[in-house]
Amino acid sequence: MEKNKTKKEIVKMLLNREIDNKDEEELLDLLVDQPISIDVDKQEESKMNFGDRLADKISEIAGSWLFIILFISFLVFWILLNTHILSENNQIDPYPFILLNLVLSCIAAIQAPIIMMSQNRQSEKDSLRNQNDYRTDLKSELILEELHDKMELILAREKEIIKRLDKLEKGNDKND
């Protein structure tokens, strides 16, 4: 009987609601009829606001090879501009490149929390996916267990029918 109680608790957990005392078959029918899997991407997308979308887009751009190549190109251009192209009197940022360091520090200070926001949201989505997979696996396990029980019942009844047929056949052989 402990096995039935465990199944009932699993079904309650899967459906995230209280269920009256019903027998195992009704619980499984309820579980089979009610979909438990969700589209995590659609669910999360519906909750995203403008800031979330912006953070994701910035993270997507900042984590690309195009951004890295363009940023390296910008740094090389900045250094060449201030060391070779402009004369010493017209340089925007002379050699220790203090302005460039300030710009890079500001970009890093802004970019890091934006990327972390995006990573946190991705982590939440992964957690939802894991929960969804777990619920689907539990549902599949319960359904397979129910099918296994039904197969055992069918096999037991088949053995009983074969025994009866053998008895009838033996009875007919004695009468002939």
Instruction: Give the predicted TM-score (pTM) of the model.
Output: 0.59
Q: Which two tokens stand for residue 136?
A: 């689907």
Looking at the fold, whether 43 and 109 belong to one and the same domain comes out as yes
What is the gyration radius of the CA atoms in the chain, in angstroms? 34
Looking at the fold, whether 15 and 80 belong to one and the same domain comes out as no
Looking at the fold, whether 2 and 80 belong to one and the same domain comes out as no
Digit-coded pLDDT (tens) for 33-49: 666 777 778 888 888 89
Structural domain tally of the chain?
A: 2
Looking at the fold, whether 16 and 60 belong to one and the same domain comes out as no
Which residues span the domain enclosing 155?
A: 35-175
Q: Which two tokens stand for residue 101?
A: 């360091």
Where do the H-state alpha helices sit in the chain? 2-15, 24-33, 40-47, 50-62, 65-80, 98-175
Looking at the fold, whether 24 and 39 belong to one and the same domain comes out as no
Digit-coded pLDDT (tens) for 88-106: 788 888 889 999 999 999 9
* Residue 40: predicted pLDDT: 78
| Close Cβ partners of 99 (under 8 Å, ≥ 6 residues apart) | 92, 93
Looking at the fold, whether 117 and 49 belong to one and the same domain comes out as yes
* Residue 9: predicted pLDDT: 64
Looking at the fold, whether 27 and 40 belong to one and the same domain comes out as no
- Residue 176 carries which DSSP code? -
With a cut of 70, list the residues of the chain below it in pLDDT: 1-35, 175-176
Looking at the fold, whether 39 and 94 belong to one and the same domain comes out as yes
